Amino acid sequence: MDARVTNEVNYLAAALDRAQAAASWDKIVDVSVENVVRLFGMTPALHGVSLDIAAGELVALLGPSGSGKTTLLRILAGLDLPTSGRVLFDGEDALQLTVQERNVGLVFQNYALFRHMTVLENIGFGLRVRPHDRRPSRKEIKRRALELLDFVQLSGLEKRFPSQLSGGQRQRVAFARALAIEPRLLLLDEPFGALDAKVRRELRRWLLEIHNKTGHTTVFVTHDQEEALELADRIVVMRDGKIEQIGTPDEIYDQPNSPFVFSFIGESSSLPVRLEKGKVWLDSRPIGLPQGNLPNGPAQLFLRPHDVEIVADPARALWGTILTHRRHAGARRVELSVGQNCSRVEIELPADLRLELAREIAFRPRRYRLFPMANESSAS
């Protein structure tokens, strides 16, 4: 084989290697988090968290401030390391990979755009700083950036600077920049937190369309329950560095496994009750609800405002005295004082129903959950 042929063979082999490498970078991943612990000094931020995320899945990490959701996201991104535990991308130890090697797309609440760069330059930044052997040509970077600009519906704004854009437009640019590197994993940290309610709703719909088109494995952090319920394939509810519950939006909303999850997801009220003789008792009388398979003793009855009905027979029902009522979209929200402890319960009734303050009404929850006081993990 002469030198010319040898050179051509070597060139083709190198090109094939580059193509295979590029294909592996573009591949979306499944993610496994195994017993991850993160300590800051002696303060635990994550307590043995384990989680599996399927390739192409859209997962929400939902919880209040201090629940550990952002710490977990930073560990997935490679911006932080766990004290112990493992993180696997397609079975590979991701903790041995740098941020660049993980090829993760990141979108932050504050956009993190470069103010001195144009929109086009911001979108192409991740491609321009790649190692030379994986860096596209300038022409290809520009082509891909313009294509993404059209994809996020911002065509014609490529020469503007971030200061010349609205908040919603800046966040779209941030998404385009994250997508430009063709990430294996897309990580979003409170991506809509800095935007007003109307823009948030619009961008939520837009993000769902983007996800459906690209199929990226996506993990996003939020404290907004409505956002999680609307967008996620599955929701991971976190509290105090632990996972409280994992499930689909329907499972999390309709079958919460603890008082915390019930009260954190959606609007709810609770009443102290007693379980005895196969029935649920409030004060000294049964209220027409079965005890189920729960043990005798004190419990909490959780219900949602829209899951109640007014009943004509008050013998086996809840009684409440109207404290306030107000219009709430197409219904009327009524605050009641219930039981000897004067517990506050909010229910939702038809908007045209005539109500008077201090009047008593009888009602019954159509759907509810019971949690024994001594064991929050049991439910009706």
Residues 175 and 79 in one domain: yes
SS (H, E, C) 286-309: EEEEECCCCCCEEEEEEECCCCEE
What contacts 24+ positions apart, CB below 8 Å, involve 192-198?
A: 192/109, 192/224, 192/227, 193/109, 193/222, 193/224, 194/109, 194/110, 194/111, 194/167, 195/167, 195/168, 195/171, 196/167
Of residues 330, 362, 372, the one with CA closest to residue 348? 330
Residue 251 and residue 137 share a domain: yes
Last residue of a domain, one of 206, 230, 259: 259
pLDDT of residue 336: 96
Residue 17 lies in a domain: no
pLDDT given for residue 361 in this prediction? 92
Counting the structural domains of the chain, the total is: 2
In a shared domain, residues 323 and 367: yes
Note whether residue 21 is domain-resident. Answer: no
- The one-digit pLDDT tens for each residue of the chain (380 residues) are 454 444 444 433 333 333 333 333 346 789 999 999 999 998 999 999 999 999 999 999 999 999 999 999 999 999 999 999 999 999 999 999 988 888 899 888 776 888 899 999 999 888 888 777 778 888 888 888 888 888 888 888 889 998 898 888 888 898 888 888 888 999 999 888 767 778 888 888 888 888 888 889 999 999 889 999 999 999 999 999 999 999 999 999 999 999 999 999 989 999 999 999 999 999 989 999 999 899 999 999 999 999 999 998 777 899 999 999 999 888 999 999 999 999 999 999 999 888 899 999 999 999 999 999 864 444 44
CATH number of domain containing 287: 2.40.50.140
**DSSP letters of 174-217?**
HHHHHHHT--SEEEEESTTTTS-HHHHHHHHHHHHHHHHHH--E
What is the pLDDT at residue 55?
A: 94
Q: Which residues of 64-95 are buried (b: 16+ CB within 10 A; e: fewer)?
A: eeebbbbbbbbbbbbeeebeebebbbeeeebb
In a domain, 22, yes or no: no
* Shared domain check, 238 and 106: yes
pLDDT value of position 320: 94
> Tens digits of per-residue pLDDT, 143-199?
888 888 888 888 888 899 988 988 888 888 988 888 888 889 999 998 887 677 788
The answer on 169 and 48 residing in a single domain is yes
CATH code assigned at 233:
3.40.50.300
379 within some domain:
no
Judgement on whether residues 108 and 241 belong to the same structural domain of the protein? yes
User: For residue 320, what are the domain limits?
Assistant: 268-372
| pLDDT for residue 213 | 84
Q: Residue 27: its pLDDT value, please?
A: 63
**Whether 169 and 280 share a structural domain:** no
Q: State pLDDT tens for residues 52-81.
A: 999 999 999 999 999 999 999 999 999 999
The residue assigned the tokens 């401030």 is: 65
**Quick check: is 153 in a domain?**
yes
Whether 149 and 172 map to the same domain: the answer is yes
Same domain? For 245 and 280 the reply is: no
Say if CB 282 and CB 342 are below 8 A apart.
no
227 shares its domain with 143: yes
Does any domain span residue 13?
A: no
In-domain check, residue 351:
yes
Residue at 87 is within a domain = yes
Position 17 scores a pLDDT of 38
The model's pTM: 0.84
Q: Are 246 and 337 in a shared domain?
A: no
